[in-house]
Amino acid sequence: MTRPHVGVVIPARNEEQLLPRCLAAVAAAVAALKGRVVPAEVSVAVVLDSCTDGSARAAAQAGRRLGLDLHLLQTDAGSVGAARHVGTAAMLGLGAQWIAVTDADTVVPAGWLVIQLGFADAGYELVLGTVEPDAADLSAEHLARWHAEHRLTEGHPHIHGANMAFSARAYTAAGGFEPLHVHEDVQLVSRIRAAGAGWTATDRMRAVTSGRLDGRVPAGFSGYLRRLGA
């Protein structure tokens, strides 16, 4: 059996404070793969998009400490869609057959990659995970409003760029991420589904993302939280 190659893609814009926590969670997910009969090779791309802080240094230090096969990429695109495209292209160039995507302000669970590859082994080419905001960042009332509007179950209706994965074949056939400032994840998922790829939406690999209200993509998750709390 061929050893699978997994690529993890993490766009980052001025995430010096949160990147080490994100990478530590990814490293734990990589370590969990060691128990598989055929362990995966995992490469991680952090795409530094228009960073003006110490994100590059923080990522490099964390990568060395955690023993990750870390690739630091630079872009001035100023677009999360473009950053995801750059990172995914780099991982495909290394021969990755499976791509897992998250964000620099997100903490994935230890079973993140194991669960994804389990779905891949069953024939799925797109896996959509769930995301919940960090309870430490929001008031109890604000958090309750968020949960009231989100169904965190198997077969959920949500699409989060901070927690999704797909096969190289499905991604390439769909044309990849578009250089959009928002909803690049929704657009890609729509095209993969339209192409007839097998997909699933699961709560088994729920991630926790920052609950800040002043995020790097104003119209993204932070903007939604801000409007929800208004």
- Predicted confidence (pLDDT) per residue in 19-46, tens digit: 999 999 999 999 999 888 788 999 999 9
228 pLDDT above the threshold of 60: no
How far CA 88 is from CA of 99, 175, 227, in Å, comes to 7, 12, 31
pLDDT at 95: 97
Question: Cα(71)–Cα(11) distance, rounded to whole angstroms?
Answer: 12
Question: Cα(111)–Cα(198) distance, rounded to whole angstroms?
Answer: 21
Structure confidence at residue 137 as a pLDDT band (50, 70, 90): confident
pLDDT per position as a tens digit, 58-70: 999 999 999 999 9
In terms of Cβ atoms closer than 10 Å to its own Cβ (0-12, 13-18, 19+), residue 224 is middle
230 pLDDT above the threshold of 50: no
pLDDT per position as a tens digit, 160-198: 999 999 999 999 999 999 999 999 999 999 999 999 999
pLDDT per position as a tens digit, 81-94: 999 999 999 999 99
Question: Cα(154)–Cα(131) distance, rounded to whole angstroms?
Answer: 13
Longest Cα–Cα distance in the chain = 53
227 pLDDT above the threshold of 60: no
Question: Cα(230)–Cα(214) distance, rounded to whole angstroms?
Answer: 14
Task: Write a three-state SS string for the chain.
Answer: CCCCEEEEEEEECCCCCCHHHHHHHHHHHHHHHHHCCCCCEEEEEEEEECCCCCHHHHHHHHHHHHCCCEEEEEECCCCHHHHHHHHHHHHHHCCCCEEEECCCCEECCCCHHHHHHHHHHCCCCEEECCEEECHHHCCHHHHHHHHHCCCCCCCCCCCCCCCEEEEHHHHHHHCCCCCCCCCHHHHHHHHHHHCCCCEEECCCCCEEECCCCCCCCCCCHHHHHHHHHC
2 pLDDT above the threshold of 80: no
